[in-house]
Amino acid sequence: MARYTAVARALHWAIAVLILLNLALGFAHDAFPKDWAVMPVHKSIGLTILALTLLRIVWRLVHPAPRLPAAMPLWEKGAAHATHFLFYALMLILPLSGWIMTSAGTRPLNWFFLFDVPKFGVGKEDAIVGLSRGAHELLPWLWAALIAIHVSAALRHHLVLKDDVLRRML
């Protein structure tokens, strides 16, 4: 069985956990007490996702993914490739849109309260800030739907089709 490399698997699962945590924090941040500093942690996790994603892209370029099973229908291979492309796009767009939004505000941007992160030179009136805000409010819902599809497809492969698709990433 062809598997992803240990580094690819570690990056996959680390990023997956961080994404799920950040989606939960983003969707429910108003429910937490104000003194819990949920949004600074949310921003720090987003920056971590961005950095790990860049590392993952470089790793993937140097270490290609194993081929999908030959018996898999073409439509399913296309859907898998499209879903993975959208995941990579969201792993870049959502953290960048949050960084742009934060850059237009007055609150500091730091990484887990350890060091300051530079802000982009944008103002609240800039079109890119409005676009970023819209993306940052809408795209997490798409991401949650894609995660549900991705997990369902992986479980289908493992439990119904009984192939090695899921095991390649475990």
DSSP assignment of 2-30: ----HHHHHHHHHHHHHHHHHHHHHHHGG
Burial of 93 (0-12, 13-18, 19+ CB in 10 A): middle
pLDDT band at 164 (very low <50, low <70, confident <90, very high): confident
Q: Select from 133, 151, 150, 127 the least CA-distant residue to 81.
A: 150
Label residues 56-75 b or e (16+ Cβ within 10 Å = b): beebbeeeeebeeeeebeee
Q: pLDDT tens digit string along 18-45? A: 999 999 999 999 899 988 989 999 999 9
Q: pLDDT tens digit string along 67-92? A: 998 999 999 999 999 999 999 999 99
Confidence (pLDDT) at 50 = 98
Query: Token pair of 136, please?
Result: 């940052």
Average pLDDT score over the chain: 95
Q: pLDDT tens digit string along 128-145? A: 999 999 999 999 999 999
Coil/strand/helix, residue 116: strand
pLDDT band at 2 (very low <50, low <70, confident <90, very high): confident
**pLDDT of 5 over the 90 cut:** yes
Which residue's structure tokens are 């879903």? 83
Confidence (pLDDT) at 103 = 98
